[in-house]
Each structure stands twice: as C-alpha cells, then as structure tokens.
Amino acid sequence: MAIETIHIAGISEPVSRIGLGTWAIGGSMWGGSNDEQSIATLHEALERGINLIDTAPVYGFGHSEEVVGKALVGRRDRAIIATKVALDWDDAGRVTRNSTPQRIRQEIEDSLRRLQTDYIDLYQVHWPDDLVAIDETARVLETLHQQGKFRALGVSNYSPAQMDRFRSAAPLATMQPPLNLFERGATETELLPYAKYHQMVVLAYGAICRGLLSGRMTPETVFGEGDLRSFDPKFQQPRFAQYLAAVEALKAFAAERYGKSVMALALRWVLDAGPTIALWGARRPEQLNGVEDVSGWTLTAEDKRDIDAILTQHISAPLGAEFMAPPHRKTSL
C-alpha cells in the first residue's frame, strides 16, 4: 500500500503523510546513534515512499543535519527537507530559545551548509521566543523566503494567538505540535481547527510518543543516563506501568479489530485527526518495518470511542509533552 500524500503550500511535490523524524539520528538525548545505520535508515525511508525528512540544528547540535546532508547526496531531488530555527546552545549543551534576526540569519546558513543544499523545503521556527516580537521574527524569515533560502514556512509549538501575530507579517504553511494517542493537546486546544480553517498542514511530532506506542517496551525497559525518556514523567513509575497497560490493551484492540500493530493504530489515529503528517522517529532501517500498514484504512467513530475508553480505564492522570519545552533566555541580546 502506497503511503498517502498531502499538499503543503509552497511545495509543488506531493509530501508523504509519514515523515521521518531525525532527532534520534542526532545522537544526543536518545542514547547515541550510528551514522552508517542512520544513513541506511534515510535511504530506506526514501525507498518506502517517505519523502519528508524532519530535522533541526539542535538535534545533536548540528549532527542530525550533517547526517541528513550526507545521506541525501545524489538523492536531494527525492526528499522534502524540513528543518528548524530559533534555538541556541552553549558549550555545555544548554539550550535556550533565540529568535533574534542575527541568530536566524546565522542558523539558516549553517543549516544549508550542513544539509549540503542551496534551499530548504520547509523552514520552521522551533519554539516561540518571548524576548523577540513575533512579527519581527516573521519579517526576517519572509525576507529569507523571498531570497529563495526556503520554499515554505512553518512554526512549531506555537499557540493560535501566536500564529495570528506571525501571520500578520508572513504566511504560514504548517504548524508542528506534539500529537499522539497519549498527548492530545493539539485536539483539545484549537490547533487542529485552526489548521483546517487556515489551510495549514500539521506535522505531528512524537506520533508514537517516544517509542511508547511502538509496542516494544516492557516494565523492564531501562533508559540510559542522558536519554530523554529518563526524565520524561511518562516513563517513571507508577505512570510507566499505566501507559504500558494502555499499550497492551490498544495492541489487543488493533489486532482484533484490524489485524494491525499498535504502532499502525497510533499512526492511523494521527492521520485521521486532520490535515496531518505523522513524524515517525527511526535510526535503524528495521524500525521502518510496518509503515505500509498505516495507509489505506481509517478509524470509525466507534473505534475512536473505544480507544478513548481504553485510555480512560488505564491512565489516571494523562500528561502532555510540556517537559520538553526549552527555557527562555534571561535577558534579550
């Protein structure tokens, strides 16, 4: 079954509704990575019909972009590259938000160099910066857009009100919030209706909730020091046991109702939520197995009610992805 596609304003090619997320390929906060395997994973994604590659400078402090750039040599015309801007870090790896014009201008040139390309398909502001006026950030990016540095503009982790201010100075084609079966803020806040109304595409990050919805984790799964999940509250007891119990119930539901894996169910739920793309993080080729099971079917209203009942039964206090938000700078630059 071919992967479904969607249109993003400003990008002429059809974009796959499954995108490859490359945070783990950067190595930091995911227990390390192997560049050779990562490049093989990127090549495998293209072969399977996944053409959207989502990365960011902060993923491994430039390393993810460098690996993506190496992998796409000779294959650039087959890929839709989405990367981000407006985070900064110091020598100790401490990350802060930074949407100043000088940071944006520096980052886009660094990203183009690391990605070994002369344009980016989708450029996204990674997090809003309270110390820089949103319309100022938008105007700088619109100038870079007019210069041909990128084809489409998006934002990540913005509220509808913040997007309204951004759109007063520059058009937006996409938004990128966390969205998965366990983290539903985008469905509960007005983000999805906002996207539909303004004809924006939603890139849903964390579509399998940092591996929780892969169906591969057990109560004995351990995350090493520095791994993002070692300080994600969902992966700490007693919550971890609750989420794993929900996964087991969802696994049985997916198998009985559709003969599918729980991961296929989780990704289908994201695709059925609206004008969405599900970002699937992988760093080994075999982690892409099953991508063909996501397309060609939909969940019914009854399915969604049954899924909601499973979550309510097993998870007493659902959590969002707020723990991932980087701090603001203490003073303006």
For residue 283, the model assigns a pLDDT of: 87
pLDDT of 18: 97
Beta bridge partners of 154: 124, 174
pLDDT digits (tens, 9 = 90+) for 120-137: 999 999 999 999 999 999
Q: Given this model, what pLDDT does residue 31 score?
A: 56
Structure tokens at 309: 């009942």
What does the DSSP 8-state code read for residue 116? T
Strand, helix or coil for residue 89: strand
Predicted TM-score (pTM) of the model is: 0.94
- Burial class of residue 162, CB neighbours in 10 A (0-12, 13-18, 19+): middle
Residue 209 structure tokens: 């909730």
At residue 27, the pLDDT reads 63
Quick one: pLDDT at residue 332? 53
Which is catalytic among the residues 59, 123, 158, 205?
59
Known catalytic residue: 59?
yes
Q: What pLDDT, on the 0 to 100 scale, is given for residue 181?
A: 96
Query: What's the confidence (pLDDT) of residue 93?
Result: 82
Which residues of the chain have a pLDDT value below 70? Answer: 27-32, 188, 331-333
Q: Which pLDDT belongs to residue 229?
A: 85
Alpha-carbon distance 15 to 10, whole Å?
11
The CA–CA distances, whole Å, from 45 to 51, 184, 285, 288 equal 7, 27, 8, 7
Domains annotated on the chain, with CATH? 5-212+270-293 (3.20.20.100)
pLDDT at 228: 78
Q: What crossing angle do the helices spanning 239-258 and 262-272 adopt, rounded to 10°?
A: 90
Single out the residue of 215, 253, 281, 216 nearest to residue 29, CA to CA.
Answer: 281
